[in-house]
Amino acid sequence: MKNRFLNWSFSASKTVAQTKSYFSIEFKGQFLKGRSLDRSEINKIGELQMRKLAIYFLILTMVAILLQCASVPDTHYYFMEFENQQTPANVTPKYDVSLAVIKFSAKPFYAGSRIAYRENLYEGKHYHYQRWAASPAELFTDKLVGQLRAANLFSQVINGYNYNKSNYRLSGEIEAIEEVDEGEQWFGRVKVTFFLSDVNRNLLLQKTFDKKTLVSQKAPLEIVKSINASAQACVDELIKELDQFFSQK
């Protein structure tokens, strides 16, 4: 798939044509008119032709290698980073309950590491050389845990593998994490659905947030920054909802 951030072009057709013309081998009948050649002269002509052929194919091989090297760009890997919240020291958590965050899932189109983008509503594409450092679901889950701990709402925020020790469980699904093109404007979009349940897996709260952030410059790093900003906006909204939910219990 064509990468929009690659405009590599390297044309060797002219070089190859010139080389072929320069080293073309013609054995014209006029050369033999008027006299016959002895065996040594014929051998010399044959050796000269073979040398020219060898040089010709050597140049073609070098051109092919240069073309291959010029057409393979570097792969760039990006992380998910949120603005850090500062938790005041020695402050008692707001609610004396523990929360386990189960690793989030993602819709199949967004489950891989390649960054997704859409130029219209009906077709999705991926950048080949612009990738997340891990799956978006894994990166998002790690950042969510960090933000929940910094918010200081719960006595303990547990990463999913110890969920049996928690009072509540938070899981979710990434429904979209992508660049969205709308005319001349590009956006970083994240849509996430969160599920809060108790230890018996009874669903207590379900919320979906869909956030878009304008891309300031049409470049890969700026796209990633906008996606990160949208992801953090979803998490900030979730923390408000959790605070409101537990304040009523």
What is the rounded distance in angstroms from the CA atom of residue 162 to the CA atom of residue 185? 43
Length of the chain measured in residues: 249
DSSP state of 201: -
Predicted local distance difference test score (pLDDT) of residue 60: 81
Q: What's the pLDDT score for residue 69?
A: 63
Give pLDDT, residue 236.
Answer: 97
Closest CA to 157 of 198, 237, 98, 86: 98
**Residue partners of 36: CB distance under 8 A and separation at least 6:** none
Task: Return d(Cα 31, Cα 6) in angstroms, integer.
Answer: 52
pLDDT at 57: 75
> Residue 12 in contact with residue 69, Cβ under 8 Å?
no
pLDDT given for residue 68 in this prediction: 67
The single-letter code of the amino acid at 188 is G
d(CA 108, CA 115): 13
Tokens of 3: 């990468």
Alpha helices in the chain (DSSP H): 13-22, 39-70, 136-151, 220-247
Please choose, from the candidates 161, 190, 175, the residue with its C-alpha nearest in 3D space to the C-alpha of residue 101: 161
**What is the reported pLDDT for 27?**
41
Cα 104 to Cα 107: distance, rounded to the nearest angstrom: 10
Q: How far apart are CA 118 and CA 227, in angstroms?
A: 13
Nearest-angstrom CA–CA distance, 6 and 74: 10
* Token couple for 87: 């938790």
Residues whose CB is less than 8 angstroms from the CB of residue 242 and which lie 6 or more positions away in sequence, other chains included: 153, 196, 205
> Which residues does the chain have with pLDDT short of 50?
1-2, 7-34
